[in-house]
């Protein structure tokens, strides 16, 4: 069966998630500087982030800045982070793919993450203009994030193609491929060496059918050659 649709993950597949993190820190820095007359949030938060901290970045940043930490302030910072207009751009290989995909191919997006943030990213990257189907799983609730099969089923319906004519490309081996494979999708892992999920190891059933380190290499795969001009 020929592959007639290519469906992408978004974070660290089409753009660098670290760029989103930096954009969010910068937006909060401007706000903290303006409303609290405290400088240095961006640099401090980035230092905490690069140290490997993921869960308590804002708490540790405020502590380093000698700011009083309370739940309301942390919640406000989180909301500000998720709702800011991100300064992000398609990676060069992602841009190449969109510019060179054949018009006969259907294109989709399946992405997890808090809805307001994902919608802002989609807008910044102009993905609705590029895709026939855009599915942000948080619209249904966190229980529908991958590896739930709901998004893959919805993509199949919206693209009007059976599962075995669809390919899914993502960067997170923990959740992107196991369900897609079970439904009959072809799966491709884009190995972003500097990505958030770089170096993660999983059991074989979680791995994709194919591994590439540059989206331009999609045109080298025999079953996808017809997709490209």
pLDDT-derived band at 202, boundaries 50, 70, 90:
confident
User: Where does the pLDDT of residue 1 fall: very low under 50, low under 70, confident under 90, or very high at 90 and above?
Assistant: low
Q: How many CB atoms lie within 10 A of CB 67?
A: 14
Q: What Å distances lie between residue 138 and 9, 16, 24, 135, 216, CA to CA?
A: 14, 20, 20, 9, 29
201 pLDDT band, cuts 50/70/90, is confident
Residue range 138-162, pLDDT digits in tens: 999 999 999 999 999 999 999 999 9
Angle at 12 between CA 92 and CA 126, to 5 degrees: 60
Average pLDDT over residues 6-14: 98
pLDDT of residue 195: 75
Mean pLDDT in residue range 150-175: 97
Task: Pick the range with the lowest mean pLDDT from 40-44, 53-57, 172-176, 218-222.
Answer: 53-57
Which whole number is the average pLDDT over 158-186?
A: 97
The pLDDT tens digits of the residues spanning 60-75 come to 999 999 999 999 999 9
Whether the per-residue pLDDT at 47 is higher than 70: the answer is yes
Which 8-state DSSP code applies to residue 67?
Answer: P
Instruction: Report the pLDDT value the prediction gives residue 125, as an integer from 0 to 100.
Output: 98
The pLDDT value given to residue 196: 77
CA distance 142 to 56: 20
Structure tokens given for 26: 């910068």
* Mean predicted lDDT score pLDDT of the chain: 95
- The first and second tokens of residue 122, run together, are 């989609």
């Amino acid at each position: 069966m020929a592959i007639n649709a290519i469906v992408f993950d978004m974070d660290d597949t089409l753009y660098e998630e670290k760029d989103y993190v930096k954009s969010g820190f910068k937006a909060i820095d401007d706000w903290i500087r303006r409303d609290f007359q405290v400088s240095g949030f961006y640099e401090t938060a980035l230092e905490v982030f690069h140290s490997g901290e993921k869960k308590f970045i804002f708490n540790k940043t405020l502590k380093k800045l000698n700011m009083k930490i309370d739940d309301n302030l942390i919640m406000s910072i989180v909301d500000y982070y998720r709702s800011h207009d991100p300064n992000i751009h398609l990676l060069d290989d992602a841009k190449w793919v969109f510019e060179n995909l054949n018009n006969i191919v259907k294109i989709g997006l399946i992405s997890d993450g808090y809805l307001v943030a994902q919608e802002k990213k989609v807008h910044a990257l102009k993905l609705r203009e590029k895709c026939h189907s855009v599915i942000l799983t948080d619209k249904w609730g966190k229980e529908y994030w991958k590896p739930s099969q709901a998004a893959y089923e919805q993509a199949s319906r919206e693209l009007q193609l059976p599962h075995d004519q669809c390919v899914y490309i993502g960067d997170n081996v923990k959740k992107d491929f196991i369900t897609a494979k079970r439904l009959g999708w072809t799966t491709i892992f884009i190995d972003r060496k500097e990505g958030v999920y770089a170096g993660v190891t999983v059991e074989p059933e979680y791995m994709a059918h194919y591994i590439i380190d540059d989206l331009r290499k999609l045109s080298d795969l025999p079953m996808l050659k017809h997709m490209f001009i």
